[in-house]
Amino acid sequence: MILRQILRLSSIFRSAVSIHLRRNIGLSAVVFNKTKELDPVQKLFLDKIREYNTKSKQAGGPVDAGPEFQKDMNESLARLQRAYGEGDLTKFPEFKFEEPNFEETPK
């Protein structure tokens, strides 16, 4: 009887550990990926992303965008402002929510 309970508890423990390890495999893959050397294609991809990031920070916007891009962007913004009214269309709108009034009104 006691042996059965011990075996049952050990199998429950094994399954719990197994589930825990399967759930955390994504985290362990990231940790192991940082410790080992990347393959050449991944390294090239990451280098290009980092290079683009530094260029975009220096340029303050899209990289290698010529005057045609800026002209198209200004025309699109002007068209949207005519259609939807004034305001800065390059920023996300701010929403203001008022608290509802939950007081009972007399009938």
pLDDT in tens, the chain (107 residues): 676 777 676 777 677 667 766 766 655 665 566 546 778 888 899 899 999 999 888 887 777 888 898 899 889 888 888 888 777 777 787 888 988 888 877 76
Task: Copy the structure tokens of residue 33.
Answer: 């990926």
The residue with tokens 């010529």 is: 66
SS3 88: coil
- Name the residue among 1, 23, 21 with its Cα closest to residue 13: 21
Contact, 62 vs 56, CB < 8 A?
yes
Q: pTM (2 decimals)?
A: 0.38
Contact, 46 vs 33, CB < 8 A?
no
